[in-house]
A and B are shown apart, each in its own frame.
Chain A
Amino acid sequence: MQLAEQLRLARNKKEILLMTHLVLGYPSFAVNREVIQQMVANGVDVIELQIPFSEPMADGPMIIKANQDALANGTKVAECLAFAAEMAAQYDIPFLFMTYYNILFKYGVEEFLRKAKEIGIRGCIIPDLPPEEGEEYLRLAKKLDLAPIQIFAPTSTEERMRTLAGHGDGFIYCVARRGVTGSKTEFDASFDAYLARCRRATDLPLAVGFGISNQEDVRILTGKADLAVIGTATIKLVEEKGAEAVGSFIAGLRG
């Protein structure tokens, strides 16, 4: 089943879906394994696996550090692919790759996407690849039935959103605010207007990320978005309290 269709069906059963994120190899693949086990056991619906890159331009301090430390530990792209294959085989939920374009470019865009498909990955989020530069990527993703997740920002016009949605599949990742990952987001009237704009521009499910960190944030998004994206918050939690704290945190997010 296509990712968008699968998410719509899941959404019929839950008021809001949860997507979580982690940086592969940080602090280690062993901890990644434990965290994912807890996430899945506690009802996470989609997991974003970030392949570390030395220049994570769109990320904030916490995820920059995770990228850096993962690379300092010697994390290789090949290991990330092998680990993702293991997770996708073990768990029933969709897994996505999030990374920067150079990782695909250097691997070979076609080889990377074929490999992702072969190991059971369902889509990719590439924040530094706008559709204008991603013709090859978009064409191949479509051919391989991998969802090339497109990103909306509060600065995107409605016309731009329609263009992006036309290239996208799976769902749309709506960046909740300006800036980078990890800092607090204010959910005010302009945020509601933004989400309404996103909704008008596409029929694809809407995921909202950047600064979503607790039950209150998830509650506010319920009814407005289809997926809430928890990124930095779990990385911080693992750092402070260890992987075992993830389960109860996730379980508590939907109230």
Chain B
Amino acid sequence: MEKPGYFGQWGGAYIPEVLYETFRELREVYAKAKADPAFWQEYVTLMGSYSCRPTPLTHAENLSRHFGGAQIFIKREDLNHTGAHKANNVMGQGLLVKRMGKTRVIAETGAGQHGVACATMAAKFGFACTIYMGEEDVHRQRPNVFWMEKLGATVVPVTTGSRTLKDAINEAFRDWVSNMDTTHYVMGTVCGPHPFPEMVAWFQSIIGQEARKQILAAHTKLPARVYACVGGGSNAMGIFQGFLGDPEVELIGVEAGGKGLDTGQHAARLASQDASPGVAQGYKTMFLQDSDGQMRDTHSVAAGLDYIGVSPLLTDLWEKGRVRFAAATDQEVMAALDLTIKKEGIIPALESTHAFVQAFKEAGELRGDQAIVINQSGRGDKDIFTIAHAFNDPSWKEFIRKKGEEYATR
């Protein structure tokens, strides 16, 4: 029998003793909620009235025609309140925080999506909120910082390590070991110590539950393939759970290929040969690390995928051959984003676009009576600064320059 909190050989809870009781309480409250059908009902009702659940499944007819193969369907997690699937997890954990009677939440954020979602949840439920964000990410995601602050959260730029997502996670843990009596750490993804991977996957499973019903209604049969981008892996686990029991549905996780797998500047843990088993940030998985066990710097145009580790659930499914992994480069992502905007009038986040890249590469291999589903985990229009910069758009740059002058002269 597997140890609790393990998925195959991956996962676990490598936590300092000071958090032992905190995790015991969290496991207990989570187990109780999971066993209580009224809790899930409360969650679904909340997501229906506060977010946009069920999110639609859009048939991308123009893209399907363009590639001349499978019918392409897009699961629209971008239409959640705050613009990404992150809303599912934060609202679920928010309900648990209420049950635990805690009054403050903290979170890490990379792209800022989870930070904004968490600050939104805190505003709605009346919790104090502190968000840890790598200094580098604070610079590249300024609009999200603005919204977190407007929502009442304190945003702490993290200046240790590589100043990105992993360092924000370390910093959130350091806060938690001081303030666990009042504070819950709302981990943003299916990583970290048990029960976080399993618990976050449970809240995100709502994506897959809906998607399975929707594709059966729209296409009358199951899809041939389902694509999702993988940073920590929460949107991927969310949609994959709807199809894990259907062996005929192939599941594909797409990681950040950055500047190319052969350059070393990427964040592909399972799609490259560069990762190895390790234990960090409270769990065991495949990490991008050196031979001494020191974590390496990663790179991606998408801050939300720029991470050293990956969900232990996904590593297990990869090892068992249930999920196939691929990588999309920054350059491929920009081309796929441009095509999707032009053909469908849909603007995926840079993170989500990684899934589109791989789906586009494979759509032509399939027949017209087959379907594929792409999980659009978030929307890109709110990341206008990042995307305009990535497109190197001249008129946008001119606008920013003028705006700068305007502020400078005031």
Contact = CB atoms under 8 A, between A and B. Distances in A.
Contact of A71 (B12, B19, B294): B294
Given A55-B295, A105-B279, A179-B177, A152 B17 contact: yes
Interface string B276-301: 11111110000101011111000000
Given A57-B170, A157-B21, A77 B281 contact: no
Nearest to A157: B21
A242 interface: no
A155 B22 contact: yes
B174 interface: yes
B161 A102 contact: no
A91 interface: no
Nearest to A178: B178
B291 A164 contact: no
B280 A151 contact: no
B1 to A, nearest CB: 15
B236 interface: no
A140 interface: no
Interface string A124-143: 00011110110000000000
Given A103-B293, A133-B13, A55 B174 contact: no
B192 to A, nearest CB: 11
B14 A178 contact: no
B16 A57 contact: yes
B17 A175 contact: yes
B128 interface: no
A88 interface: no
Nearest to B167: A55
Interface string A46-67: 0000000111111011001100
Interface string A147-171: 0001111111100100010000000
Contact of B14 (A61, A65, A128): A128
Given A64-B160, A178-B177, A105 B17 contact: no
* Residue in B18, B22, B177, B178 with the greatest tally of chain A CB atoms within 10 Å: B18
Interface string B37-50: 00000000000000
Contact of B279 (A76, A101, A157): A101
Interface in A71-90: 71, 76-77
A55 B14 contact: no
A158 B271 CA distance: 46
A156 B280 CA distance: 23
Given A54-B294, A55-B166, A130-B17, A102 B278 contact: yes
A128 B180 CA distance: 17
Interface residues of B, number: 35
B22 to A, nearest CB: 7
A68 interface: yes
B16 A178 contact: no
Contacts of B291: 106
A102 B13 contact: no
A55 B281 contact: yes
Contacts of A127: 16-17
Interface in B327-352: none
A60 B21 CA distance: 21
B243 interface: no
B18 A154 contact: yes
A180 interface: yes
Interface string B1-42: 000000000001111111111100000000000000000000
A191 interface: no
Interface string B63-74: 000000000000
Interface in B177-192: 177-180
A152 B18 CA distance: 8
Contact of A130 (B15, B174, B178): B15
A202 to B, nearest CB: 14
A100 B295 CA distance: 13
Given A106-B293, A160-B20, A178-B177, A55 B15 contact: no
B20 A130 contact: yes
Contacts of A53: 293-294
A160 B287 CA distance: 31
B13 A156 contact: no
A107 interface: yes
A229 to B, nearest CB: 15
B202 interface: no
B195 to A, nearest CB: 14
A57 B173 contact: yes
A57 to B, nearest CB: 5
A60 B171 CA distance: 9
B16 A58 contact: yes
A179 B178 contact: yes
Contacts of A61: 160
A180 B170 CA distance: 11
Contacts of A102: 278-280, 287, 289, 293
A194 B278 CA distance: 34
B14 to A, nearest CB: 5
Given A53-B294, A103-B292, A164 B17 contact: yes
* Residue in A64, A151, A157, A164 with the greatest tally of chain B CB atoms within 10 Å: A64
B281 A57 contact: yes
Contacts of A60: 174
Contacts of A65: 160
A68 B16 contact: no
Nearest to A107: B293
A179 B18 CA distance: 8
B103 to A, nearest CB: 17
Given A106-B292, A157-B21, A180 B278 contact: no
Given A58-B177, A64-B160, A68-B161, 8 more contacts: A101-B14, A106-B276, A129-B14, A130-B20, A155-B19, A156-B17, A175-B17, A178-B180
12 contacts: A55-B280, A55-B281, A55-B295, A57-B170, A58-B16, A58-B177, A102-B293, A106-B276, A133-B12, A157-B21, A179-B178, A180-B174
